[in-house]
Amino acid sequence: MWIADNWNDYEVLDTSAGEKLERWGDYILVRPDPQVIWNTGHDHPGWKQKNGHYHRSSRGGGDWQFFDLPPQWSISYKNLVFQLKPFKFKHTGLFPEQAVNWDWCSEKIKNAKKPVKVLNLFAYTGGATLAAAEAGAQVTHVDASKGMVQWAKENAACSGLKDAPIRWLVDDCVKFVEREIRRGSRYHGIIMDPPSYGRGPKGELWKIEDSVFDLIRLCSNLLDREPLFFLINSYTTGLAPSVLTYMLSLAVKERFGGHVESDEIGLPVSGTELVLPCGASGRWSR
């Protein structure tokens, strides 16, 4: 498992009965987690000191219950600063487990010893975009949500990357890739974090099981003649690490050689030997 264990401002304090107890900077949140099928009680004092608690509804979705939590605050990861706020579907605007992939991409960019162009698809609030830009890459950030792109811009400004060479685009990712191919654009690195299900800005339907392999294969047409990496993340239960390996091998490795590896990503639980699984990632590199 690839473990995001370099955080100072974030930690999983405890896990029990379908929930995780997390510290986000100065604030403690309780959020549901389907992986936590064990019950070890709630002995950690943080359970009684929580600032926010997201409760699942039996009808689907859920609601936040707040205890002295500001509407927005920030945390840092190395040189990057992220604005956080609780919003629907339990999220805060950041997936801290992805830090292990930010570090991997940053290392590839810094070791390239040449100008690097990176494409980040389904780019959300910009964690991977900022990590790549901070490492020296020119980044194209694409997401279908105008609000998420604006949030990512705010994170860039807070991280001292307001003037970094980042192209911010609100667009359907598949259609953008098709246009980039027609334009003859090329990238040294591609990152994608596709949702299990979603719609583009004009109602375009996306289902990961039906669409992700075709998109990986399509994106391979945007890779430079000497590409560096291709990273795909998945939070969909049916896409095991071995599935990611197989797709990258067929779509990218057969064409460019190199190496493919895939694994679960996870977050350490403080004071224990437990690592909480948080999805999977597939990585191709030269």
pLDDT tens by residue, 232-255: 999 877 678 999 999 999 999 999
pLDDT tens figures, 154-189: 999 999 999 999 999 999 999 999 999 999 999 999
pTM, entire model? 0.94
Q: What is the mean pLDDT of residues 63-70?
A: 95
Domains, the chain, in order of start with CATH, read: 2-84 (2.60.40.1180), 96-285 (3.40.50.150)
Q: pLDDT tier at 200 (50, 70, 90 boundaries)?
A: low
pLDDT recorded at residue 32: 96
pLDDT at 201 (0 to 100): 63
Lowest mean pLDDT among 5-19, 194-208, 264-278: 194-208
Taking only the tens place, the pLDDT of each residue in 7-31 is: 999 999 999 999 999 999 999 999 9
Query: Is pLDDT above 90 for 58?
Result: no
Per-residue pLDDT tens digits for 221-230:
999 999 999 9
HEC per residue, the chain: CEECCCCCCEEEEEEECCEEEEEECCEEEEEECCCCCCCCCCCCHHHHCCCEEEEECCCCCEEEEECCCCCCEEEEECCEEEEECCCCCCCCCCCHHHHHHHHHHHHHHHHCCCCCEEEEECCCCCHHHHHHHHCCCEEEEEECCHHHHHHHHHHHHHCCCCCCCEEEEECCHHHHHHHHHHHCCCECEEEECCCCEEECCCCCEEEHHHHHHHHHHHHHHHECCCCCEEEEEECCCCCCHHHHHHHHHHHHHHHHCCEEEEEEEEEEECCCCCEEEEEEEEEEEC
At residue 60, does pLDDT exceed 80? no
pLDDT of residue 100: 98
Mean pLDDT, the chain, whole residue set: 94
